[in-house]
Structure 1
Amino acid sequence: MKNKLNAFSLFFLTGFLLAFSGRAQEKKTLFIILDGIQRELLLKNPTPHLDQVMAEGGYYPAHVGGMRGGYSETPTVSAVGYNSLLTGVWVNKHNVRGNSIRRPNYHYWTIFRHFKEDYPHKTTAVYSTWLDNRTKLVGENLEATGRLQLDYHFDGLEVDTLGIPHDEQSDYIREIDQQVAAYAAKDIREKGPDLTWVYLQHTDDMGHRYGASPQMDSAIQEADRQVGLIWSAIREREKNYGEDWLLLITTDHGRGEGGFHHGGQTDEERATWIVSNKALNEIASQTPGIVDLFPTMAHHMHLSIPKNQAMEVDGVSLLGEAHASHLSGSLSGKDLSLKWESYGNGKTGRVWVTPTNQFRYGNSDLYRLLGEVRLEEESANFDLQVVPNNLKVVLEIPSGFINVWVKQTD
């Protein structure tokens, strides 16, 4: 009888653990943008809270700026970088060319819109020191974004000049960052939004005012403490509710000589970084772009991106099995040559092309299948039989799509 009871107890305990394990797989994602922190200063400064996140996942040099000198070259400007992260595409597609955010192309959906399309009853949140992130980039309640609604937000303090008086030293932005981080941590601990964006600005202000300086160092260390508030809340959620959180922390641009300004295409202005609480795949060792964070989050959250939209995404997931990345191509007469980076898994892909770009207007492009390729060969050549002026080329891989635009070299 004792053995039977022990067996029953073991069975019951196993069932309970399995049930809890299933609950543990509830996916949550939070990404933080710490504005304008160049790599060398991040690594130079003591950042114990970021170090804790890195210890669970890693630190990865990354980049912004698109294809330098090419069709997707993207200004290393704040709002431009934010939108490249949100949409997974470079400026030639999302059309946010500066901080004024004049004419975003909302046909390239943000991660928030895709998430709400798939999971209308799950919750989203933005906690930000800049109101435009929610109202213009995410585009809350705009007709062009399908009247997208967020569930929680905390922002707009920077326009409250009575409640938070502005000062020339930008101390008010430091205070707003602190309030934003504290509010975000409280909401995360109590409400656990499923998809969350936190944006903190003070580091960028210090860079513009003082360059690489003690003031910038102090701002980085303060940003680390604010990250610590949020990381602590995530750890509590994981412990108390068994949730599976992906935390991605990055910056939107580097800085030029002296650490003051940005916007151009120097190596220093393009150089960024990613910190993750999960180990990323082999592609992350190839200096990933900010556009790679969109498909990474989509992978973690199991989003089903429609094919015509997925074929436009410029990034590739840094989670899961790596198949191919860094697609490039050239077009000479009827000859199309393609190259890519392969990760040696013996898989095949398919090449699609279209001479049109109707997607940017909200329409569909008609793609033609050129053929199948072995990804391990890392190159392919095709005779198009006609001479197009330019092509959108998409390489379909087991984990999704990668794309490149090519034009005649003659």
Structure 2
Amino acid sequence: MKNILLFITLSISTITFSQKKKVLLVGIDGLQLEQLAKVNTPNFDKFNIKKGFNGGLLGTDSQQVTSSGPSWVTILTGVWADNHKVTSNSPNQVSASKSVFNYIKTSNSNLKTASISTWKNINLLLYKDMYLVDFSTQGGLDDYSTKIAVDLIGEKGLDFIFIHLDDVDHAGHAYGFGEKYSSSILKMDENIGQLLKATAHRNKNFNEDWLVILVTDHGRDAKGFGHGNQTISEKTIFVGLNKKGNSFFESVNNDKKINSIQELEKQTIPQTAVVPTILKYLNIPIKNEWKLDAKPLIN
């Protein structure tokens, strides 16, 4: 009888104290890593940020334009455009590949997800999977999207939330690098601070453990106005984690000079690593048949 009571007590303790894992993916459109380093950003500084690349592998079937449409679909499917088939920003396309929302929901129907897309085309490009998402928005402004995400984190107990924020990219297209671009980064840092405050509240009061991932879709040209081409600056992105990454993630040296696109692709993190990282953290087994183009960034 004593052994049975001990077993029951231990089981209850495990249930009570085991933290529930959650993921917040914050997508920041068009933020150049080198420009981020020039601005005082206390909330960005809470992350371990590593240099990465987008645009597929140069000269292979996976090569894709460094534009938002193909890049966000890559981030949310874990594969390059040779698989997902989205080749431009046009909303008259639908991803041929399943998204992270599909993998989460079909693996565990009890998990709840949300997609808050300030640039509405993201959800349109993933139209086939949107019926699986428990909550979604298309369009609006960054502050509005941030408020929605904060409310969802605080009140709804969702398991995976993707939020896309757009103002930095707008500043780049309108003004290039300079004072207004830097100001947009400062404002973005405030938005991230609100999101971190919300996840910290859940961690403390609801026995949760939030992995927060920062990612950008593309870099920018030398003056900061445009993107789309296969140049080092336009292919350079970043991935940030609020937790320690695995040996591959931690080995990336942001200060090492990149002399070629080939070096960028070999020595930094592929954009395709975001989806497997989310699935790994949520304890969702990654199937070979999904043919994801990268491995997780956490152990």
Q: Which residue of 2 aligns with 1:155?
A: 138
Q: Which residue of 2 aligns with 1:40?
A: 34
Q: Which residue of 2 aligns with 1:50?
A: 44
Q: Which residue of 2 aligns with 1:222?
A: 187
2:90 maps to 1:137: no
Q: Match of 2:154, SS?
A: helix
Letter in 2 for 1:246: L
The TM-score with structure 2 as length reference comes to 0.87
Q: Which residue of 2 aligns with 1:295?
A: 276
Q: Distance in 2 between matches of 1:12 and 1:41?
A: 55
Q: Distance in 2 between matches of 1:104 and 1:298?
A: 22
Would you say the 8 A contact 1:36–1:254 is kept in 2? yes
Letter in 2 for 1:50: F
Q: Distance in 2 between matches of 1:288 and 1:315?
A: 9
Unaligned runs of 5+ residues in structure 1 are 1-10, 158-175, 321-410
Q: Distance in 1 between matches of 2:283 and 2:245?
A: 16
Q: Distance in 2 between matches of 1:227 and 1:83?
A: 22
The TM-score with structure 1 as length reference comes to 0.64
Q: Distance in 2 between matches of 1:66 and 1:131?
A: 23
Report 1:77-116 matches (<5 A): 77-106=67-96, 108-116=97-105
- RMSD, matched Cα: 2.0
Q: Which residue of 2 aligns with 1:265?
A: 230
Q: Match of 1:207, SS?
A: helix
Task: Give how far 1:95 is off.
Answer: 0.9
2:295 maps to 1:316: yes
Letter in 1 for 2:296: S
Would you say the 8 A contact 2:95–2:125 is kept in 1? no
Q: Aligned pairs, how many?
A: 278
Q: Distance in 2 between matches of 1:128 and 1:40?
A: 25
2:62 to 57, 72, 90: 72
Q: Which residue of 2 aligns with 1:379?
A: none
Report 1:158-237 matches (<5 A): 176-237=141-202
Q: Which residue of 2 aligns with 1:371?
A: none
Q: Which has the higher helix share?
A: 2
Would you say the 8 A contact 1:154–1:183 is kept in 2? no
Task: Give how far 1:149 is off.
Answer: 2.8
Task: Give how far 1:21 is off.
Answer: 2.2
Considering only CA atoms, is the larger Rg found in Structure 1 or Structure 2? 1
Would you say the 8 A contact 1:128–1:154 is kept in 2? yes
Q: Match of 1:273, SS?
A: strand
Q: Distance in 1 between matches of 2:13 and 2:109?
A: 29
Task: Give how far 1:130 is off.
Answer: 1.8
Deviation by residue 1:153-182 (Cα, 9 ceiling, x = unmatched): 23333xxxxxxxxxxxxxxxxxx1111101
Q: Distance in 1 between matches of 2:12 and 2:133?
A: 34
Q: Match of 1:257, SS?
A: coil
Q: Which residue of 1 aligns with 2:112?
A: 123
- Structure possessing the higher relative contact order (Cα contacts under 8 Å, 6 or more residues apart): 2
Unaligned runs of 5+ residues in structure 2 are 1-6, 253-266
Task: Give how far 1:17 is off.
Answer: 5.3
Q: Distance in 1 between matches of 2:277 and 2:289?
A: 18
Would you say the 8 A contact 1:155–1:180 is kept in 2? no
Task: Give how far 1:120 is off.
Answer: 1.3
Letter in 1 for 2:181: M
